[in-house]
Structure 1
Amino acid sequence: MVPDDLYFGLTKPGGETISESEWQELVKAVITPRFREGLTVLDGAGQFLNCSEIMIRENSKIVILIYESSPAKNQAIHEIIETYKRTFLQESVLRATSEVKVSF
């Protein structure tokens, strides 16, 4: 199984914050249809250096996905990231991938 952790910053250019309703709409319309088998969303607070070397501190959403590796799932994650970046004018989404053994 492959776990992917996706980190979505919640600050829009200009300082506005992505609202909880905007986030929930993205989960409903973009993420859930691609990962109907399940996902976990956590609230976070983080920081990073943007492309201009400015330290950005912001609240975030962390989406944890655990799935069987396939080109289709990799493409689905790419689509989620690109939709988020385009919709909310974001520079990036952090994706952390590894391999795990799971049991239920």
Structure 2
Amino acid sequence: MLHIRVSTPAAAALVAVALLFTTGGQVSEVAYGRTVTQAETAGAATTTGSPYLATHLYFGTGRHNGEPPITDDQFMKFVADVITPRFPSGLTIQQGRGQWRDKTGSINKEISYELTVLYPAGEARRHNPDIEYIRRLYCSMYGLESVGRADVRAQADF
């Protein structure tokens, strides 16, 4: 049985990093000033819900060749016309500030949007063509190099 006693935040951070390396990232909790056992953390690994995928798409708004940036209205029209019909059950959009290095090596800083769609893991093959269509169309419409994509396994309950 694993027992850990941690007395300061700095020590906790060092123990957490060491444990992540030695346990293959299986540490669930580090407590300050008390002992934590594997039995205590076993309940934390229990989740509710069903297996889902969370697909995150990262849309930039900066354009090349002196073209003006994609406006909020243009992006929201793209969401309404292209994305919503493919994911009518729901989606989340967050606006942020992003940066990335383009194919010429320039670092571009721009307003960006992160779109998240959740769907049952068993529907991944069905949704993949829609996701790829969205990515290609956005790039084609606005002369962009790419739309970033990240797929993350999740447990979800609605």
Q: If the TM-score is normalised by the length of the shorter chain, which range does it land in?
A: over 0.9
1:47 is matched with 99
Higher RCO, Cα 8 Å, sep 6+: 1
User: What secondary structure sits across from 2:108 in the alignment?
Assistant: strand
Structure 2 residue ranges without an equivalent (≥5): 1-51
Q: After superposition, give the CA deviation of every residue in 1:42-98 in whole Å (9 maximum; x if it has no partner).
A: 001011111111111111011011112332200000010011000011100110111
1:71 is matched with 125
Q: Residue type matched to 2:146 in 1? A: S
State which of 61, 73, 76 in structure 1 corresponds to 2:113. 61
Aligned residues: 104
Q: After superposition, give the CA deviation of every residue in 1:13-58 in whole Å (9 maximum; x if it has no partner).
A: 1251101221111001100000001000000101111111111111
2:46 is matched with none
Q: Is the CA contact 2:58–2:115 (under 8 Å) kept in the aligned structure 1?
A: yes
1:98 is matched with 152
State which of 21, 24, 31 in structure 1 corresponds to 2:83. 31
Larger Rg: 1 or 2?
2
- Within 1, Cα distance between the matches of 2:126 and 2:133? 10
2:58 is matched with 7
User: What secondary structure sits across from 1:101 in the alignment?
Assistant: strand
Q: Does 1:82 align with 2:133?
A: no
Structure 1 residue ranges without an equivalent (≥5): none
Q: Is the CA contact 2:53–2:124 (under 8 Å) kept in the aligned structure 1?
A: no
Q: Residue type matched to 1:83 in 2? A: L
- Within 2, Cα distance between the matches of 1:94 and 1:35? 18
- Within 1, Cα distance between the matches of 2:103 and 2:69? 20
Identity %: 31
- If the length of structure 1 is used for normalisation, what is the TM-score? 0.94
2:69 is matched with 17
Q: Which runs of 4+ in 1 moved over 6 A?
A: none
Q: Larger helix proportion, structure 1 or 2?
A: 2
